[in-house]
Amino acid sequence: MRLRSGAMDLDARFSTPGDPVCAPDWLALREPADAAARASALVEPLRGRSLAVVRDLGCGSGSMGRWLRPLLPTGPWYLHDRDPVLLEIAARDGGIPVLGDLAAVDSFAGTDLVTCSALLDLLTAPEVDRLVDLCVDAGAAALFTLSVTGGVTLDPVDPLDAAVAAAFDAHQRRSDLLGPDAGAYAAEAFRSRGARVETAESPWRLVAGPLLEEWLRGRLAAAVEQDPALAPDAAAYLHRRLANPDLRAVVPHIDLLAH
């Protein structure tokens, strides 16, 4: 959806919130923030565990592997994604590319660790249940990072923040997607199947700059798509936000380890 008001283009340039296929430029832009946010403490329980086979679901351009592989000795690293362009980028750092949708995976047999980043909130409850079942049935540990939880904080505040936040969260829950409920849902699903679950907060902490601008553009575009009543005020809101060099944002996420 393209959104224009006056001369200001409200579109995100590299990202479409909720789209399971991401642009390489967006993934490159967010990779440092992802790496800084992930809860490295959840890696500690995996040390000393045999990790002969790892599967990285929705691997994108491979940022999860670039973050995790230096922290843990692993064997073959399987890269799963539906986008051949992203798989090619990810495989440059090593790993075995597997092209296809997650729905096509019917077993994790022989896998020691299943991992993903910023994926769970794009799934429905039945899809998360199926993913949890695959991990538990295989006896594989699961390290799922950067699932959004809502509750974004912007500083300084703006009168339109609350309406944008409500519309954005509703957009993430469209078509039965779990959106900001995904991390908590997955944790309970693992617990109900007898897994030990540990969670940790993993917030993005953004300052004025290219990532904050791209994130804000994408957030606003999704909010207006969900609630068109926001459209008349959207351009002025974006202008106010981007004109403030002191703008800060905290974007909460949750990381989950099940083992």
Q: Are 133 and 105 within 8 A, CB to CB?
A: no
Query: What is the β-pairing status of strands 113-117 and 96-99?
Result: unpaired
d(CA 226, CA 222): 6
Q: Residue 96 is inside which H or E element, if any?
A: strand 96-99
pLDDT digits (tens, 9 = 90+) for 155-177: 999 999 999 999 999 999 999 99
Q: Is the pLDDT of residue 17 over 70?
A: no
- What is the CATH classification number for the domain harbouring 33? 3.40.50.150
- Stated pTM of the model: 0.92
Q: Which domain holds residue 186?
A: 4-258
pLDDT digits (tens, 9 = 90+) for 111-160: 999 999 999 999 999 999 999 999 999 999 999 999 999 999 999 999 99
Peptide bond into 156 cis (omega under 30): yes
Our count of domains for the chain comes to: 1
Residue 204: pLDDT band by 50, 70, 90 thresholds? very high
With 0-12 CB in 10 A as exposed, 13-18 as middle and 19+ as buried, what is 143?
A: buried
d(CA 107, CA 117): 20
Residue 8: pLDDT band by 50, 70, 90 thresholds? very low
Place of tokens 């005020």: 233
State residue 15's pLDDT score.
Answer: 57
